[in-house]
Amino acid sequence: METKLNETFITLGGYVEVNKYRYLYFMIMFTAYVLTLCSNCTIVCLIVIHKNLHEPMYVFIAALLINSVLSSTLIYPKLLLDFLSETQVISYSTCLFQWAGYYCLACSEFLLLAAMAYDRYVSICKPLQYPVIMRKTNVNIILVLAWFVPFCHSVVPPIILINKKLCNFTLKGILCNSTIHNLHCVTTVAITIYGLFMFVDLTILPLLFILFTYIKILVIVYRSCREVRRKAAQTCLPHLIILINFFCLLAVDVLLLRLETDFPTIVRFVITLQMILYHPLFNPIIYGLKMKEINKHLLRLFCK
């Protein structure tokens, strides 16, 4: 433990041969960060500028991409600094903040994906009621709740744990996630139960809701003509791919890595990098290339 001005520092012990490959790691992650910022912000700007993209579906896409920028900005700067540092340490208070923000934004992504699924469900299954159900006021309420509810859930554990005694000062990871509980001298049962409740409430329930909406959409689409089936597949398939991939990675991160199982450092390292890299990079690719209207504006922008 290192102490400076009564601040407790934690060593991040999840890096793999960082002294040997520090500059390679730095260049890869710096390139990924720049690409993430540029690609996400470009599509968000297109949605803001063009009035024909001011529809609920595109508003939710913009919110999802903004969420990706926020989560990347929370993680990448510290990660890049660690790659260039001789020792990879983080203060305990900063670690709690990163942990809370990391899961808050991850849960927000699930709620935004649920909102997008509901938008597609209303659009395909209840087209005549769509303008009433998805009016601007309701869309704004959904967006506020998608960020506010995870924030309220995520802020509780750090407040409880901020003064909790630590017996271990080495975190088996490259960022602060659910494994932070392994640092405490005594595991708080209430926090463990609360974490499972949060996982069910903000990931499992939205996942079940999304699957329910897709089942309803598939039932309606199956009875429709080929053009309707093609359009539904074009809109929903990217959404479904992102959802399944993200849920699997988050489930591994939240549940398996938190267990006392002695996972190899390389496995933890790869899983964490997947969580950091995949979705901020793939979201703009999928929604930029697969969504016809956004793709059209992107082509016009780069052709000029």
Query: What tens digit of pLDDT does each residue of 97-130 get?
Result: 998 998 899 899 999 989 988 998 898 888 889 9
Residue 302, in any domain of the structure: no
Residue 2, in any domain of the structure: no
CA 172-79-145 angle, to 5 degrees, is 90
CA distance 229 to 72: 35
- 3-state secondary structure at position 226: helix
**Domain with 192 in it: what CATH number?**
1.20.1070.10
pTM: 0.88
CA distance 14 to 274: 14
Low-confidence ranges of the chain (pLDDT < 70): 1-7, 228-229, 231-235, 238, 255-263, 304
Task: Identify whether the C-beta of residue 187 lies closer than 8 Å to the C-beta of residue 211.
Answer: no
Residue 3, in any domain of the structure: no
Q: Which amino acid is located at 280 in the chain?
A: P
**Main-chain dihedrals φ then ψ at residue 300, nearest 5 degrees:** -60, -40
Domain that holds residue 225: 9-296
CA distance 29 to 76: 8
Residue 80: which of 126, 130, 114, 37 has the closest Cα?
Answer: 37
Residue 277, in any domain of the structure: yes
Task: Identify whether the C-beta of residue 175 lies closer than 8 Å to the C-beta of residue 98.
Answer: yes
Residue 169, in any domain of the structure: yes
Residue-level pLDDT at 209: 92
CA distance 18 to 35: 23
**Whole-number Cα distances in Å, 287 to 64, 114, 242, 280:** 10, 16, 11, 12
Helices (H) and strands (E) in the chain, counts: 11, 4
Residue-level pLDDT at 304: 60
First to last CA, the chain: 56
Domain count, the chain: 1
- Rounded to the nearest 10 degrees, how much is the dihedral formed by the CA atoms of 255, 200, 245, 207? 160
Residue 54, in any domain of the structure: yes
Residue 175, in any domain of the structure: yes
Residue 304, in any domain of the structure: no
